[in-house]
Structure 1
């Protein structure tokens, strides 16, 4: 059992040294490990700590195009891991971002520039308070879930990254919307979501899954062992994982 493709990794086009390896180093490592396909997916521009600067995306895409020529045996996609920014489901997937992207990933990140102070309060403060308050936690799960459902409805998202990480979600409702919109759900090798219990819930729906490394250094490109353990623990039909062979 091996990974043929890895659709989630961060390069030096991330701000503040978040991704440690260049696009060329990532491509070289992917070829060395026998991968057939990768996607360079730095955080979207509205991640104030680590997001790719929008004006540098064309430069990064140009390097990807050079790597396609250098490594014709490797299919290289360019995209972003966009950020959910508010409870109306808006993200940083702008028209300018879309011009450069072959693939769109989307998830929730604490370092995003949320649309309003109220969104920051709810996403960060209220979700934290909900960890010790059952009724508040249930309320926030529904609010968080609705934000993701709206995002999947507003945008063409290819892969939803690490659902349930950092803020709780109703995975049943997320999977139902993913089925409706054709969104692939990620089993992230670095973050522990989807975990086995979440995979069991999501697999009740006609959705596909992707195991991704979420690599920040070239050595982690193609890593999948922890995610595969969760998929097996959930008794998931591994044929539903699009990039596993």
Structure 2
């Protein structure tokens, strides 16, 4: 993991915010947001690049490259420091609240002297925002909800950031003296959408060299606790990693114990007690004699309990133990089952890589098919036209077949308007191989209106997939208020797939919604929603979320052969292409 990339990404995003706060050029603001995303997703460590090489990154021109180079050499950017000095510190804190933009944050500071989140919450509760333009009762309600959302996410990190940290630590520790096995465990292994502390487990006869190697990792900023059984460190970004070292012959029991969840472990311990056994991180023991019955592998531990191995993503006490006892665990969809990605973007709209680059990366992933689905014209900032889309279609057809075994699909991501309509007339939509339809605006409509708009989109014969159905962004935007049970029933009735969006800040649908939707017999698409070549890998987080929702490969349309997928898109009630 190249942390300088993340530092620079955060810096450029901050500068974009500062531009917005001070009423700067909106195009300049978006340029810095675009460059931040490109640098954050760049596969190389940018601290090793020359300024000329930096300019090769999409969206990074000379001015931005010079600022990045200045930061990498000095730790500061003078123009950003100057801009910071003009902004009261509390204003950027206010902007961290979901739904509260730069203009409103500045208005709160200038008109009411509010310079912190706590000040704002107190002012709302004391009804002190009366008469302030743009802060009516509904807005204040949304702000309080946004504050609650941000506080719930406080101290937790998204799945991709946690994965990067854990994988770096595991990779380094694998070479430590005496380390026989090492893996991450806990909520990260269960693929939860946000992670608190990262749990790492190692097996070694002598724990001390492994613990010493852990505290010496480059990512470590502070050693919180150093012991022979457990060591805790904190990274430069403030995240906590816990390492536990167990004897090699306790590996399986330890991995089962520290993967959790707590509720799942209670279930397994109850089974152990009924069998006259005692289960701990060191093994499964006879309760009377203390003799070890199983410990080396998780499979051995579960087998001795009378259970098949239960995948970590199911271990949430949602009926998985009972299903295992009945031999009814689902055969979960895996990353290897995915034959293609059905929701991606290029630099024709808000992506950062060309169509050719995205296709080349999709081919390298071994896909059988790949769909490009750039935005339609109702998302006006993308300035899409029929002419641009038709030109892209020609490029898609030209590239199709140039990579062995990879077939290309030309699609689009349509915008669902407040009434449930989508971009472009039916005759134009009929020319696409597939259409993803998503909500990108009017998030505050009431429950009935949101439900109607989604159902109407499902009923459009040209819409194949509903993208990121609830529109949520983890820690920053709650999902829309809709009767999802009705929406899921409509998707099943119309043959419209629901997306499991793998972008780490979305993971939408979330696992609980997948569990509800699959009861209706809905089909799903697991997509990356990639805007860069590196983001195509986000599909693994979608797969993890799908597993948490108990999905099998047959329920996911992009595990199917292309012929079956095309037949699904052209099912009765949907026009032929």
TM-score (norm 2): 0.36
2:435 is the counterpart of 1:107: no
Residue of structure 1 equivalent to 2:410: 78
- Inter-partner Cα distance in structure 1 for 2:430 and 2:383: 17
Residue of structure 2 equivalent to 1:6: 341
2:575 is the counterpart of 1:224: no
Residue of structure 2 equivalent to 1:91: 422
1:13 to partner: Cα distance: 1.3
Residue of structure 2 equivalent to 1:174: 487
2:397 is the counterpart of 1:65: yes
CA contact (8 A) 1:43 1:51 kept: no
2:354 is the counterpart of 1:22: yes
2:527 is the counterpart of 1:212: yes
CA contact (8 A) 1:61 1:100 kept: no
1:90 to partner: Cα distance: 1.1
- Inter-partner Cα distance in structure 2 for 1:239 and 1:205: 15
Structure 1 or 2, whichever has the larger Rg, is 2
1:99 to partner: Cα distance: 5.0
- Inter-partner Cα distance in structure 1 for 2:426 and 2:514: 33
| Cα distance change on mapping 1:197 and 1:169 into 2, 3 Å | same
1:96 to partner: Cα distance: 5.7
CA contact (8 A) 2:418 2:450 kept: no
CA contact (8 A) 1:212 1:222 kept: no
- Inter-partner Cα distance in structure 2 for 1:54 and 1:164: 28
CA contact (8 A) 2:401 2:407 kept: no
CA contact (8 A) 1:163 1:169 kept: no
| Cα distance change on mapping 1:157 and 1:99 into 2, 3 Å | closer
| Equivalent residues in 2 for 1:141-160, closer than 5 Å | 141-160=447-466
| Cα distance change on mapping 1:219 and 1:153 into 2, 3 Å | same
Say which SS state the counterpart of residue 147 (structure 1) adopts. helix
Residue of structure 1 equivalent to 2:514: 199
Say which SS state the counterpart of residue 146 (structure 1) adopts. helix
User: CA RMSD for the aligned pairs?
Assistant: 1.8
1:238 to partner: Cα distance: 3.7
Higher mean C-alpha deviation, range 219-228 or range 185-194: 219-228
- Inter-partner Cα distance in structure 2 for 1:154 and 1:186: 16
- Inter-partner Cα distance in structure 2 for 1:232 and 1:39: 23
- Inter-partner Cα distance in structure 2 for 1:109 and 1:23: 23
- Inter-partner Cα distance in structure 1 for 2:557 and 2:517: 15
Say which SS state the counterpart of residue 49 (structure 1) adopts. helix
CA contact (8 A) 2:377 2:385 kept: yes
**Residues 178-235 of structure 1 deviation map (CA, whole Å, 9 limit, x = unaligned):** 1111001100001221001110110111111110000000122253222122222222
Residue of structure 1 equivalent to 2:17: none
Identify unmatched segments of 5+ residues in structure 1: 111-122, 128-139
Which of 520, 525, 550 aligns to 1:235? It is 550
Greater relative contact order, per chain length (Cα 8 Å cut-off, separation 6+): 1
How many residues align? The count is 216
CA contact (8 A) 2:418 2:449 kept: no
- Inter-partner Cα distance in structure 2 for 1:86 and 1:61: 28
Residue of structure 2 equivalent to 1:137: none
